[in-house]
C-alpha cells in the first residue's frame, strides 16, 4: 500500500532518499507534472501550515486541489471517514491528505482504498510529514544526524510532532533528550529528563513544542512556564554557537520562547515552514511513483 501513516514505516535509507528528492525538487525543472490528477486535503482539525503547504506543494506538482473540512462536508451528517475517502476516490481523487483527531484513525481506512493516503496529524498520535520537514531542516544545517544531541522540550504527552521526531531521530543515530513538566511527561517516549538549563548548554538542536491548550483540561498552565521550562534570552545566550532552534509552530510567543527569540539568528522556525513545501512535494512524488 502506498501510504504515509507513521514515521515508523520508513527506513533510514527511505528517509535519506526523501531528503535527497526534496533537494532535487526545489528546482522546478526536476518536478514531474501530475497535471490531470486531483489531490484532496481533508482537514478535520485546524491547520495553517500543513494544509497550506500541502496545497502549494500539490499545485507546484501540477495537481488540481480539492479542499474539505469537517464543517462543510457530509461528515457533519454522520458519514464516516472511510466513506468520505471512498467517495472522493470514486469521484476521481488520486491522493488524499488527512488531518483528524483519532490516533491511528487513518490506518483503519486503508483497506478498500487504492489512492495513497497521507497522515497530516492524527490527534496526539503522529505527524510524519512535520517530522520529515524537521529532519530536512536539521540535515540542511548539519549534513548528518549521527551523534547530534537533539533536545525536545515541552508538552510531550500531547505532541504528535515529538512522538514522530523522537522515533526518527533515534533511528538515525541522534542522541535525543527531553525536557518537560512532570504532568506532560510521556513514558512511551522516555523515563529520563533533563532541565532546560542542562539542555541549552549541550544540545545541537533545541526543538521546542507548543503548549496545546486545546487538548488540556487545566487552562492555567502558562503563568511562569517561560522562566521554568522555556527559552529565555539568558538561556539562548548559553546555547552552543552552532546550535539551532526549531519549533513546529504555531508558537505561543512569550510562553515556550521569548518573543525576541522567535526570529533570532539561531531560529529556523520559519525556515521549517519553507522546507515544509519542499518536503511535502517529495512525499507526494514518492507516493505517486510507488517509491515509499
Interface with ligand CP in residues 248-267 (CB under 6 A): 248-250
What is the CB neighbour count within 10 angstroms for residue 13? 8
Distance of CA 81 to the CA centre of its chain: 22
Q: How far is the CB of 210 from ligand CP (least distance, A)?
A: 8
Interface with ligand CP in residues 181-210 (CB under 6 A): none
90 backbone dihedrals φ, ψ, rounded to 5°: -65, -30
Greatest distance between any 2 Cα atoms in the chain: 57
Q: Does residue number 47 form part of the binding site for ligand CP (CB under 6 A)?
A: yes
- Helix (H) / strand (E) containing 284: helix 269-288
| Radius of gyration in angstroms for the set of CA atoms belonging to the chain, rounded to a whole number | 19
Going by their DSSP bridges, the two strands 175-179 and 149-153 should be labelled as: parallel
On whether the CB atoms of residues 182 and 153 are closer than 8 A, the answer is no
Q: How far is the CB of 176 from ligand CP (least distance, A)?
A: 19
Q: Does residue number 50 form part of the binding site for ligand CP (CB under 6 A)?
A: yes
Q: How far is the CB of 80 from ligand CP (least distance, A)?
A: 24
Interface with ligand CP in residues 122-151 (CB under 6 A): 130
Q: How far is the CB of 250 from ligand CP (least distance, A)?
A: 6
Whichever of 47 and 185 has its CB closer to ligand CP, that residue is 47
C-alpha cell at 168: 526518527
Please choose, from the candidates 266, 264, 262, 242, the residue with its C-alpha nearest in 3D space to the C-alpha of residue 254.
262
What is the CB neighbour count within 10 angstroms for residue 192? 7
Whichever of 37 and 154 has its CB closer to ligand CP, that residue is 154
Under DSSP, the state recorded for 4 is B
Single out the segment in contact with ligand CP by CB under 6 A; choices: 28-36, 233-241, 245-253, 259-267. Answer: 245-253
Q: Which of 9, 30, 48, 274 binds ligand CP (CB under 6 A)?
A: 48
Angle 216-169-206 from CA coordinates, rounded to 5°: 60
Whichever of 129 and 243 has its CB closer to ligand CP, that residue is 129
Q: Does residue number 84 form part of the binding site for ligand CP (CB under 6 A)?
A: no
Q: How far is the CB of 48 from ligand CP (least distance, A)?
A: 4
Interface with ligand CP: number of residues (CB under 6 A): 10
Whichever of 89 and 134 has its CB closer to ligand CP, that residue is 134
Please choose, from the candidates 148, 129, 154, 161, the residue with its C-alpha nearest in 3D space to the C-alpha of residue 205.
148
Single out the segment in contact with ligand CP by CB under 6 A; choices: 34-42, 80-88, 138-146, 244-252. Answer: 244-252
What residues make contact with ligand CP under the rule CB under 6 A?
A: 47-51, 121, 130, 248-250
Amino acid at each position: 500500500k502506498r501510504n504515509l501513516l507513521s514515521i515508523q514505516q520508513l527506513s533510514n535509507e527511505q528517509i535519506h532518499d526523501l531528503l535527497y528528492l526534496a533537494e532535487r525538487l526545489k528546482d522546478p525543472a526536476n518536478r514531474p507534472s501530475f497535471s490531470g490528477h486531483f489531490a484532496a486535503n481533508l482537514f478535520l482539525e485546524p491547520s495553517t501550515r500543513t494544509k497550506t503547504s500541502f496545497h502549494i506543494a500539490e499545485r507546484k506538482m501540477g495537481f488540481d486541489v480539492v479542499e474539505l473540512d469537517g464543517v462543510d462536508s457530509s461528515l457533519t451528517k454522520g458519514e464516516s471517514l472511510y466513506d468520505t475517502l471512498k467517495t472522493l476516490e470514486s469521484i476521481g481523487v488520486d491522493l488524499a491528505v488527512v488531518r483528524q483527531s483519532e490516533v491511528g484513525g487513518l490506518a483503519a481506512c486503508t483497506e478498500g482504498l487504492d489512492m495513497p493516503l497521507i497522515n497530516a496529524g492524527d490527534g496526539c498520535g503522529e505527524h510524519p510529514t512535520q517530522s520529515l520537514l524537521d529532519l530536512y531542516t536539521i540535515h540542511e544545517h548539519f549534513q548528518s544526524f549521527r551523534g547530534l544531541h537533539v533536545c525536545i522540550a515541552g508538552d510531550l504527552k500531547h505532541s504528535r510532532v515529538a512522538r514522530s521526531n523522537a522515533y526518527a531521530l533515534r533511528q538515525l543515530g541522534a542522541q535525543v533528550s527531553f525536557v518537560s513538566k512532570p504532568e506532560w511527561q510521556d513514558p512511551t517516549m522516555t523515563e529520563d529528563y533533563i532541565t532546560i538549563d542542562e539542555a541549552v548548554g549541550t544540545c545541537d538542536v533545541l526543538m521546542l513544542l507548543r503548549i496545546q491548550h486545546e487538548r488540556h483540561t487545566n487552562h492555567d498552565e502558562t503563568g511562569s512556564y517561560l522562566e521554568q521550562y522555556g527559552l529565555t534570552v539568558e538561556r539562548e545566550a548559553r546555547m552552543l554557537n552552532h546550535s539551532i532552534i526549531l519549533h513546529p509552530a504555531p508558537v505561543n510567543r512569550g510562553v515556550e520562547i521569548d518573543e525576541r527569540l522567535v526570529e533570532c539568528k539561531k531560529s529556523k522556525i520559519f525556515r521549517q515552514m519553507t522546507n515544509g513545501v519542499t518536503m511535502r512535494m517529495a512525499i507526494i512524488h514518492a507516493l505517486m511513483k510507488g517509491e515509499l
